[in-house]
Amino acid sequence: MNNEALELHKKFRGKLEVKSRIPVNNQKMLSLAYTPGVADVSKLIHEKPEEVFTYTNRWNAVAIVSDGSAVLGLGNIGPEAALPVMEGKAVLFKEFANVDAYPLCINTQDPEKIVEFVETISPTFGGINLEDIASPQCFYIETELRKRLNIPVFHDDQHGAAIIILAALKNALKIIGKRLNEIKVATVGVGAAGGAVIKMLLAAGVRNIVACDRNGILNKNHPETLLNPFHEEIASLINPEGLTGSLEDAMKGADVFIGTSVGGLVTQDMVRSMAKDPVIFAVANPIPEIYPDEAKEAGAKIVATGRSDFDNQINNVLVFPGLFRGALSVRAKDINDEMKLAAVDALAGFLDESEVCESRIIPRAFDPGVGKAVAMAVAKAAIDSGVAKVSPESKELEQIIDGDISLPR
């Protein structure tokens, strides 16, 4: 147990509170903020529903929805135990992007009921962040909500991880002098994060991906290796050489290893079997698939993990605050592939060429300006791809993201 963390949470009794933007300290302000004045605001919105984004906080509000079925590395611990994690997520939204996020931990793990719940509460929010929902249910839930809602829906465990991993990989490949379309990538873990990583790698131009899960290498001609319909979909897109076997077989000759599974799966001999100067992304938390010192000793050129106590931390906090800030700032109705790839490029390009090295392939969470860079790139991609409902000029957009002016109508 981390006693310091326990004491912090006990002392403050949680990490969130609600504050008013308007000082209600006299009778006039009371009558303007609430009845009778607020009735005119309600009537206006009733006549023009889109004005809700102008006259309420909906433009800046995100729901963090979790069923507690896949919380961190703790597994299915339920909605109550998930709440401190979702509160923490809301704190990161506020601190890194000034987004007002609200944790909603719900007492059902039925995908249909989750979809219905989110659809029902959606008029309050400008965006939906799905969090710590187990696969394969999470795929259906996100897909269905994106069909039904006219606001961004984003499962951070999938796409946040995929965005930061691809950004880090692009810079790692600069160091070892290889291209995305030339490399062989071995992955382990084909759940929410792993599946999204594979899809994003394919979208970015990677041609040779070999993926492993509990039943070994996914192979479309071997149904026993496929655990669910999502595996079937993924298997049809990867493994061009038709490999079979274990993770050890998948890693032979690979240029890159990406793990989103559980700790301790990779041995030094597996690293030694890879191509020259291999890249290892061992992202399992809290114990990586292989520790950086062991991987380096076995010949790895670049190692990244999900931990803050090693170089090259793969951390979703570099993604989701800026991504939602950008999407909300142009009232995007979706978060599409163009916006995700824009976030990748913003993160990969944030560091100067002279800064990119084996121990620094991605920005750090507290690097000044990284969230804004992601937000600007995502907002512009939303405008260019036609999913933005407002299209401010670049200077005005920057002011909105900085919080200097309100969202335009």
Which residues carry out catalysis? 34, 89
CA distance 304 to 169: 10
Length of the chain: 409
> Are the C-beta atoms of 67 and 114 separated by less than 8 Å?
yes
Query: How far is CA 108 from each of CA 51, 67, 79, 191, 193, rounded to the nearest angstrom?
Result: 33, 6, 9, 20, 22
Tokens 């993990």 found at: 305
Residue among 86, 135, 145 nearest 114 (CA): 145
Residue among 281, 308, 311 nearest 295 (CA): 281
315 annotated to a ligand binding site: yes
Ramachandran area for residue 63 (φ above 0: left; ψ -120 to 50: alpha; else beta): beta
132 annotated to a ligand binding site: yes
> Are the C-beta atoms of 175 and 356 separated by less than 8 Å?
yes
For 302, the 3-state DSSP assignment is: strand
Residue among 277, 228, 225 nearest 255 (CA): 277
Here the tokens at position 313 are: 């931390």
How many Å from the N-terminal Cα to the C-terminal Cα in the chain? 49
> Are the C-beta atoms of 227 and 218 separated by less than 8 Å?
no
Residue among 152, 29, 162, 143 nearest 99 (CA): 152
CA distance 44 to 39: 9
> Are the C-beta atoms of 141 and 111 separated by less than 8 Å?
yes
**Residue positions in the annotated binding site for (S)-malate?**
285, 315
**Residue positions in the annotated binding site?**
131-132, 157, 285, 315
**Residue positions in the annotated binding site for a divalent metal cation?**
131-132, 157
